[in-house]
Amino acid sequence: MDSKYLIVGLVLLAAVGGVILFSQPQNLTGALVAKDVSSGKTISSVVIEDTVEVAVTEKESPVLYFYSDGCHFCQLQKPILDELATEGFKVKKMDVAAHPDYWQQYFVQGTPTFIANNGNGERLVGMQQKDVLAAWLERNGAKIG
């Protein structure tokens, strides 16, 4: 019976360790100005290569969307973004799994994260409901057309 608890404990420890390992930012610097809405702090980083996807992504969008295919909340966010795309909203998708340097460059602490890259640098962190996200995207110039 004790060995079952030991195995369960080790599995839980490995899972927590994996979450911590994959959520840590990498080490790079840069030059995009951003303002964290929750704390009011201004931060800066660099805009690097474009990641262009179909439907919700617009290369010229002033909003960067940081996501990972392995993120549960990003998967829940996807149909909302797809629906908003049909209404003319576009974001520039930034895959943190494919580009781990994004964590540090943009000071991303978790996914999903939206960052306005239009001068005001506002952030929206966590999964968002359609009405909240649509209002935020429109305020930050992500409605194309």
Task: From 100, 101, 28, select the one nearest 70 (Cα to Cα).
Answer: 100
Interval 92-140: pLDDT, tens: 999 999 999 999 999 999 999 999 987 788 999 999 999 999 999 999 9
Secondary-structure class of domain 26-139 per CATH: alpha beta
Residues 6 or more apart whose Cβ sits within 8 Å of residue 62: 116, 117, 118, 140, 141, 142
Enumerate the domain spans of the chain: 26-139
The pair of three-digit structure tokens given for residue 71, joined into one six-digit string? 């993120």
Would you state the pLDDT for residue 66? Answer: 97
Is the per-residue pLDDT at 10 higher than 90?
no
Neighbours of 122 (CB within 10 A): 18
Would you state the pLDDT for residue 47? Answer: 33
Q: Which residue has the tokens 């209002």?
A: 135
